[in-house]
Chains A and B, each alone.
Chain A
Amino acid sequence: DAGITQSPRHKVTETGTPVTLRCHQTENHRYMYWYRQDPGHGLRLIHYSYGVKDTDKGEVSDGYSVSRSKTEDFLLTLESATSSQTSVYFCAISLSGNEQFFGPGTRLTVL
Protein backbone atom coordinates (compact mmCIF):
# COMPACT_ATOMS: atom_id res chain seq x y z
CA ASP A 1 0.00 0.00 0.00
CA ALA A 2 3.02 2.25 0.11
CA GLY A 3 2.47 5.44 -1.84
CA ILE A 4 -1.28 4.94 -2.28
CA THR A 5 -3.95 6.16 0.06
CA GLN A 6 -7.71 5.99 -0.22
CA SER A 7 -10.25 8.08 1.61
CA PRO A 8 -12.52 7.52 3.30
CA ARG A 9 -11.71 3.97 4.36
CA HIS A 10 -15.27 3.29 5.42
CA LYS A 11 -18.49 5.04 4.49
CA VAL A 12 -22.16 4.43 5.08
CA THR A 13 -24.58 6.43 3.00
CA GLU A 14 -28.19 6.43 1.90
CA THR A 15 -29.67 5.55 -1.46
CA GLY A 16 -29.81 8.52 -3.82
CA THR A 17 -26.98 10.52 -2.28
CA PRO A 18 -23.81 11.39 -4.21
CA VAL A 19 -20.56 9.88 -2.93
CA THR A 20 -16.98 10.69 -3.85
CA LEU A 21 -14.04 8.42 -3.12
CA ARG A 22 -10.51 9.70 -3.36
CA CYS A 23 -7.32 7.95 -4.39
CA HIS A 24 -4.03 9.71 -3.78
CA GLN A 25 -0.59 8.54 -4.91
CA THR A 26 2.89 9.82 -4.22
CA GLU A 27 4.60 7.63 -6.86
CA ASN A 28 3.98 9.85 -9.90
CA HIS A 29 2.64 6.85 -11.81
CA ARG A 30 0.87 7.57 -15.06
CA TYR A 31 -1.95 5.03 -14.85
CA MET A 32 -4.63 4.92 -12.18
CA TYR A 33 -7.56 2.53 -11.86
CA TRP A 34 -10.74 2.10 -9.86
CA TYR A 35 -12.04 -1.42 -9.18
CA ARG A 36 -14.86 -2.84 -7.16
CA GLN A 37 -14.64 -6.18 -5.43
CA ASP A 38 -17.70 -8.27 -4.66
CA PRO A 39 -18.07 -11.88 -3.56
CA GLY A 40 -18.25 -14.16 -6.58
CA HIS A 41 -17.11 -11.47 -8.99
CA GLY A 42 -13.53 -10.81 -8.06
CA LEU A 43 -12.05 -7.47 -9.06
CA ARG A 44 -13.89 -5.59 -11.79
CA LEU A 45 -12.62 -2.44 -13.47
CA ILE A 46 -14.87 0.61 -13.19
CA HIS A 47 -12.81 3.38 -14.81
CA TYR A 48 -9.19 4.07 -15.46
CA SER A 49 -6.94 6.99 -16.28
CA TYR A 50 -3.88 7.13 -18.52
CA GLY A 51 -2.97 10.71 -17.72
CA VAL A 52 -4.26 13.98 -16.35
CA LYS A 53 -7.76 14.54 -17.74
CA ASP A 54 -7.49 11.29 -19.73
CA THR A 55 -9.96 8.68 -18.55
CA ASP A 56 -11.93 5.81 -19.99
CA LYS A 57 -14.62 3.35 -18.99
CA GLY A 58 -14.04 -0.12 -17.69
CA GLU A 59 -16.27 -3.16 -17.46
CA VAL A 60 -18.77 -1.82 -14.89
CA SER A 61 -18.84 1.96 -15.39
CA ASP A 62 -22.61 2.60 -15.27
CA GLY A 63 -23.51 4.86 -12.35
CA TYR A 64 -19.91 6.01 -11.82
CA SER A 65 -17.86 8.94 -13.03
CA VAL A 66 -14.22 9.84 -12.49
CA SER A 67 -11.96 12.83 -12.65
CA ARG A 68 -8.24 13.32 -12.67
CA SER A 69 -7.21 16.96 -12.54
CA LYS A 70 -3.67 16.24 -11.36
CA THR A 71 -1.33 13.27 -11.51
CA GLU A 72 -1.61 12.31 -7.87
CA ASP A 73 -5.40 12.28 -7.44
CA PHE A 74 -8.09 10.13 -9.03
CA LEU A 75 -11.64 10.64 -7.83
CA LEU A 76 -14.51 8.21 -8.18
CA THR A 77 -18.05 9.62 -7.90
CA LEU A 78 -21.24 7.71 -7.47
CA GLU A 79 -23.72 10.18 -8.87
CA SER A 80 -26.73 8.74 -7.02
CA ALA A 81 -25.76 5.81 -4.85
CA THR A 82 -27.78 2.60 -5.03
CA SER A 83 -27.70 -0.51 -2.86
CA SER A 84 -26.08 -2.44 -5.72
CA GLN A 85 -23.06 -0.18 -5.33
CA THR A 86 -22.39 -1.51 -1.84
CA SER A 87 -18.93 -2.94 -2.30
CA VAL A 88 -15.26 -2.63 -1.50
CA TYR A 89 -13.54 -0.18 -3.84
CA PHE A 90 -9.86 -0.42 -4.67
CA CYS A 91 -7.66 2.08 -6.38
CA ALA A 92 -4.56 0.90 -8.24
CA ILE A 93 -1.65 2.65 -9.87
CA SER A 94 0.80 1.58 -12.54
CA LEU A 95 3.90 3.05 -14.06
CA SER A 96 3.80 1.07 -17.29
CA GLY A 97 0.21 -0.13 -17.44
CA ASN A 98 1.09 -3.71 -16.56
CA GLU A 99 2.12 -4.21 -12.95
CA GLN A 100 -0.51 -2.56 -10.78
CA PHE A 101 -0.21 -1.66 -7.12
CA PHE A 102 -3.31 -1.46 -5.01
CA GLY A 103 -4.45 0.82 -2.24
CA PRO A 104 -5.98 -0.38 1.05
CA GLY A 105 -9.58 -0.13 -0.16
CA THR A 106 -12.76 1.72 0.81
CA ARG A 107 -15.70 -0.20 2.19
CA LEU A 108 -18.91 1.50 1.05
CA THR A 109 -22.35 0.59 2.33
CA VAL A 110 -25.42 2.07 0.69
CA LEU A 111 -28.56 1.71 2.80
Chain B
Amino acid sequence: GESVGLHLPTLSVQEGDNSIINCAYSNSASDYFIWYKQESGKGPQFIIDIRSNMDKRQGQRVTVLLNKTVKHLSLQIAATQPGDSAVYFCAENGGQGGSARQLTFGSGTQLTVLP
Protein backbone atom coordinates (compact mmCIF):
# COMPACT_ATOMS: atom_id res chain seq x y z
CA GLY B 1 0.00 0.00 0.00
CA GLU B 2 0.93 3.64 -0.15
CA SER B 3 3.08 4.91 2.68
CA VAL B 4 4.93 7.91 3.94
CA GLY B 5 8.41 7.27 5.23
CA LEU B 6 11.30 9.12 6.75
CA HIS B 7 14.91 8.65 5.71
CA LEU B 8 16.45 8.88 9.19
CA PRO B 9 14.88 8.02 12.53
CA THR B 10 17.26 10.32 14.50
CA LEU B 11 19.08 13.55 13.77
CA SER B 12 21.50 15.43 16.00
CA VAL B 13 22.57 19.01 15.22
CA GLN B 14 24.58 21.67 16.97
CA GLU B 15 22.69 24.62 18.37
CA GLY B 16 22.70 27.40 15.81
CA ASP B 17 23.15 25.11 12.82
CA ASN B 18 20.46 24.45 10.24
CA SER B 19 18.50 21.19 10.38
CA ILE B 20 17.09 19.27 7.46
CA ILE B 21 14.55 16.53 8.02
CA ASN B 22 13.58 14.43 5.03
CA CYS B 23 10.48 12.52 4.08
CA ALA B 24 9.67 10.28 1.12
CA TYR B 25 6.17 9.62 -0.06
CA SER B 26 4.95 7.11 -2.60
CA ASN B 27 1.38 8.21 -3.40
CA SER B 28 1.62 10.35 -6.51
CA ALA B 29 -2.00 11.41 -5.98
CA SER B 30 -1.14 13.26 -2.76
CA ASP B 31 -1.84 16.95 -3.13
CA TYR B 32 -1.33 18.17 0.41
CA PHE B 33 1.56 17.69 2.82
CA ILE B 34 2.05 18.79 6.38
CA TRP B 35 4.76 18.79 9.03
CA TYR B 36 4.15 18.36 12.73
CA LYS B 37 6.36 18.73 15.77
CA GLN B 38 5.72 16.60 18.83
CA GLU B 39 7.38 17.27 22.15
CA SER B 40 7.51 14.60 24.80
CA GLY B 41 4.13 14.09 26.48
CA LYS B 42 2.29 16.48 24.16
CA GLY B 43 0.13 16.26 21.08
CA PRO B 44 1.50 16.93 17.60
CA GLN B 45 1.75 20.62 16.80
CA PHE B 46 1.26 22.01 13.29
CA ILE B 47 4.42 23.56 11.83
CA ILE B 48 3.84 24.18 8.16
CA ASP B 49 2.00 22.74 5.18
CA ILE B 50 2.33 22.81 1.42
CA ARG B 51 0.12 21.98 -1.50
CA SER B 52 1.29 20.10 -4.54
CA ASN B 53 1.02 23.17 -6.78
CA MET B 54 3.96 24.67 -4.86
CA ASP B 55 7.56 23.53 -4.48
CA LYS B 56 8.58 25.75 -1.57
CA ARG B 57 6.93 27.45 1.35
CA GLN B 58 8.48 29.45 4.15
CA GLY B 59 7.40 30.11 7.67
CA GLN B 60 9.12 31.52 10.69
CA ARG B 61 12.57 29.83 10.70
CA VAL B 62 11.13 26.88 8.76
CA THR B 63 10.98 26.05 5.08
CA VAL B 64 9.29 23.12 3.44
CA LEU B 65 10.49 21.92 0.06
CA LEU B 66 8.50 19.61 -2.16
CA ASN B 67 10.01 17.69 -5.05
CA LYS B 68 7.20 15.92 -6.84
CA THR B 69 9.51 14.37 -9.41
CA VAL B 70 11.17 12.18 -6.81
CA LYS B 71 8.31 12.28 -4.30
CA HIS B 72 10.40 13.92 -1.62
CA LEU B 73 9.54 16.39 1.10
CA SER B 74 11.94 18.16 3.43
CA LEU B 75 11.69 20.43 6.44
CA GLN B 76 14.47 22.92 6.99
CA ILE B 77 14.87 24.61 10.35
CA ALA B 78 17.16 27.63 10.42
CA ALA B 79 19.39 28.39 13.40
CA THR B 80 18.23 25.37 15.37
CA GLN B 81 17.49 26.05 19.03
CA PRO B 82 17.23 23.73 22.06
CA GLY B 83 13.46 24.19 21.97
CA ASP B 84 13.42 22.56 18.53
CA SER B 85 14.32 19.20 20.05
CA ALA B 86 11.31 17.00 19.36
CA VAL B 87 9.96 14.33 17.04
CA TYR B 88 8.99 15.63 13.61
CA PHE B 89 6.33 13.94 11.49
CA CYS B 90 5.41 14.44 7.89
CA ALA B 91 1.95 13.52 6.65
CA GLU B 92 0.21 13.40 3.31
CA ASN B 93 -3.42 13.23 2.31
CA GLY B 94 -3.22 10.79 -0.59
CA GLY B 95 -5.22 13.17 -2.76
CA GLN B 96 -8.42 11.96 -1.13
CA GLY B 97 -11.64 13.76 -1.68
CA GLY B 98 -15.05 12.68 -0.63
CA SER B 99 -16.61 13.22 2.74
CA ALA B 100 -13.47 13.56 4.78
CA ARG B 101 -9.79 13.91 4.22
CA GLN B 102 -7.44 11.59 6.00
CA LEU B 103 -3.76 12.05 6.67
CA THR B 104 -1.20 9.27 6.54
CA PHE B 105 1.67 9.90 8.92
CA GLY B 106 5.28 8.88 8.75
CA SER B 107 6.93 7.26 11.75
CA GLY B 108 8.81 10.39 12.79
CA THR B 109 12.37 11.70 13.16
CA GLN B 110 13.80 12.52 16.57
CA LEU B 111 15.70 15.80 16.38
CA THR B 112 18.20 16.44 19.17
CA VAL B 113 19.86 19.83 19.48
CA LEU B 114 23.32 19.65 21.03
CA PRO B 115 24.69 22.56 23.10
Contact = CB atoms under 8 A, between A and B. Distances in A.
A41 B108 CA distance: 9
Interface string A71-103: 000000000000000000010001011111111
A50 B100 contact: yes
A102 B102 contact: no
A55 B68 CA distance: 32
A45 B46 CA distance: 17
Interface stretch (B11-19, B37-45, B53-61, B69-77): B37-45
B49 A102 contact: no
B42 A105 contact: yes
Contact of B107 (A40, A96, A101): A40
A99 B100 contact: no
Nearest to A40: B107
Interface in A42-68: 42-45, 48-50, 54, 56, 58
Q: Could you say which interface size class chain B belongs to?
A: 20 to 34
Given A43-B89, A50-B99, A105-B42, A98 B34 contact: yes
B43 A54 contact: no
Give the interface SS of chain B, mostly helix, strand, loop or mixed.
Answer: loop
B93 A56 contact: no
A104 B39 CA distance: 11
B103 interface: yes
Nearest to A107: B41
A42 B101 contact: no
Contacts of B45: 102
B44 A56 contact: no
A49 B101 CA distance: 10
Interface of B: 32, 34, 36, 41-46, 49, 89, 91, 93, 99-103, 105-108
13 contacts: A40-B107, A42-B105, A42-B108, A48-B100, A54-B99, A96-B101, A97-B100, A98-B34, A98-B49, A99-B34, A99-B46, A99-B49, A104-B43
